[in-house]
Amino acid sequence: MSELKEQKRSRRIAMTDAERDAYLAEARVCRVATVGSDGSPHVTPLWFVWDGASLWLNSIVQSQRWVDLERLPRIAVVIDGGHDFHELHGVEIEGTTAVVGEVPREATPNAELAPVEAAFGRKYADSDTYTPDGRHAWLRITPSKITSWDFRKNEALRPRR
């Protein structure tokens, strides 16, 4: 596993680790970018879980995203929010994916997935239970680089009244 690259630019508006973790626990949709066989980008929205070290995606295994990642497991993910320019905030994660568990996911107990599936159930279904549908499987993203920004930290961007 490679070492996580340090954010070099925009550190004044970067989120702290605690701010980033809180934001990723609350945010609901990420945008996942993969590379197609012809080199073109493929971007799709997806639900996710952040465990403090890895981003977990529950992906349909018969999707272009899955095919792309089987061929080339490099990925970029953006989770962002805000309406006006001075409110923009978010996290970009670059890394590699690994399949964890069955493909597709069945109901076989898996100790590694148990906390991820409980967190996913709480986040999206208000339940500690995750019920596999036989169409999805889990991808763990190991970040090589995490970049964050929160324009609300820059007083110069706040509107004058």
pLDDT truncated to tens, each residue of the chain (161 aa)?
467 777 666 678 899 999 999 999 999 999 999 999 999 999 999 999 999 999 999 999 999 999 999 999 999 999 999 998 889 999 999 999 999 999 999 989 999 999 999 999 999 999 988 999 999 999 999 999 999 999 988 877 677 76
Q: What are phi and psi of 48, to 5 degrees?
A: -155, 165
Residue 78 domain boundaries: 11-150
Length of the chain: 161
The torsion angle over the Cα atoms of residues 22, 19, 85 and 144, rounded to 10 degrees, is -90
Q: Is residue 68 part of a domain?
A: yes
Q: Is residue 92 part of a domain?
A: yes
Q: Is residue 77 part of a domain?
A: yes
Q: Is residue 161 part of a domain?
A: no
The torsion angle over the Cα atoms of residues 92, 95, 100 and 103, rounded to 10 degrees, is 90
Q: Is residue 72 part of a domain?
A: yes
Question: How many domains does the chain fold into?
Answer: 1
- CATH number of residue 65's parent domain: 2.30.110.10
